Amino acid sequence: MSAPVYDRVALIGLGLIASSMALAMRERGLAGTIAGHAKSAETRAVALEIGLCDAVFDTAAAAVQGADLVVLAVPVGAMAAIAEEIGPHLKPGACVTDVGSVKQAVIGAVAPHLPEGVTFVPGHPLAGTEHSGPRSGFPTLFENRWCLLTPTERSTPEATARLRALWEGMGAKVDEMDAAHHDLVLAVVSHTPHLIAYTMVGVADHLRRVSNSEVIQYSASGFRDFTRIAASDPTMWRDVFLTNKDAVLDILGRFTEELFVLQRAIRMGDGDMLFDYFTRTRAIRRGIIEAGQDTAAPDFGRVAVKPAGAKG
């Protein structure tokens, strides 16, 4: 087995992404020692119980001491407070990264609290499930998924290359982009779709002409996929929309314009327009499959592999 990419890694937050990182790093020998911290005592106890980390600490400050890499895996809204807490305890030469799905807000929250001699390479793995917590992680979560790095003036080529090696070691494909561009891209591919999913589920909840039993019983259709997305962590998504609001509102405005076009076509009976529109959008789905980001195999029953450590 090759030498670890980092001798000591500290995971701040022990949910789906961090637990999957811990399992992947351990399985592939990418980290010598893994330390962890979570706000919840229950989460810390579970992490110890299932052997997620070599050591779990009550405070983030204690967890980061001596770490070569610190991964901030907490909601975007909590980043500033965590960065302020750990700043004085980071060792010279350490690298700080994160896994938040908004980058400009994270950079603004974290960078001011990092001391000289500490590098900062923001990151975002485009991987996840609707599950959360330390038991939800599994070591193959990042395989063939993208991880986007958004280096700043606090990044060095050496630190960025080393972090890239870690993500590639966990099976991810890595790309780099500007933070502002990242936030716009994610507003299209993730943030606005989640908002639409939450909205559609909310519509069903308020539409009293459709009973709750019918919504549940007949949900083996498009609605079921909306509910899967809408099951995601509410704290994380609240913070995403509040911290990436400009890009989300931009894309939401464009979505509304497209929706008006479709409404008019349906009202006017313009079948040709609808057919052409759906043909163009279907090509995007084919492109996703060809890029290896999903499979064309039908999975209407959604028989999924249970994450490692999951109960039930």
Would you state the pLDDT for residue 40?
94
Give CA–CA dist 107/294, Å, rounded. 31
Burial of 105 (0-12, 13-18, 19+ CB in 10 A): buried
- CATH superfamily membership of 181-290: 6-phosphogluconate dehydrogenase C-terminal like domain (1.10.3660.10)
Would you state the pLDDT for residue 310?
43
77 touches 106 (CB < 8 A): no
Residue with tokens 């690298």: 95
Give CA–CA dist 237/101, Å, rounded. 9
CB atoms within 10 A of CB 259: 11
140 touches 113 (CB < 8 A): no
Give CA–CA dist 8/297, Å, rounded. 40
CB atoms within 10 A of CB 232: 19
Count Cα atoms within 13 angstroms, Cβ side, for 63: 30
Would you state the pLDDT for residue 130?
72
Would you state the pLDDT for residue 312?
38
- Per the structure block, which two tokens stand in for 12? 């701040």
β-pairing, 95-98 with 69-72? Answer: parallel
Q: Is the pLDDT of residue 245 over 80?
A: yes
Q: Is the pLDDT of residue 48 over 70?
A: yes
Q: How is 144-187 classified by DSSP, letter by letter?
A: T-EEEE---TT--HHHHHHHHHHHHHTT-EEEE--HHHHHHHHI
Would you state the pLDDT for residue 311?
40
Q: Is the pLDDT of residue 284 over 60?
A: yes
Band (pLDDT 50/70/90 cuts) for residue 200 is confident
9 touches 25 (CB < 8 A): yes
CB atoms within 10 A of CB 145: 18
- Per the structure block, which two tokens stand in for 236? 């994380």
Q: Is the pLDDT of residue 216 over 70?
A: no
Average pLDDT, integer, range 240-267: 92
Average pLDDT, integer, range 30-39: 97
In the chain, where the domains are located: 6-177, 181-290
Would you state the pLDDT for residue 297?
64
pTM of the model: 0.81
Give CA–CA dist 48/31, Å, rounded. 17
309 touches 50 (CB < 8 A): yes
Q: Is the pLDDT of residue 22 over 70?
A: yes
Q: What is the DSSP letter of 137?
A: -
* CATH number for the domain whose boundaries are 6-177: 3.40.50.720
What are residue 8's phi and psi, to 5 degrees?
-140, 125
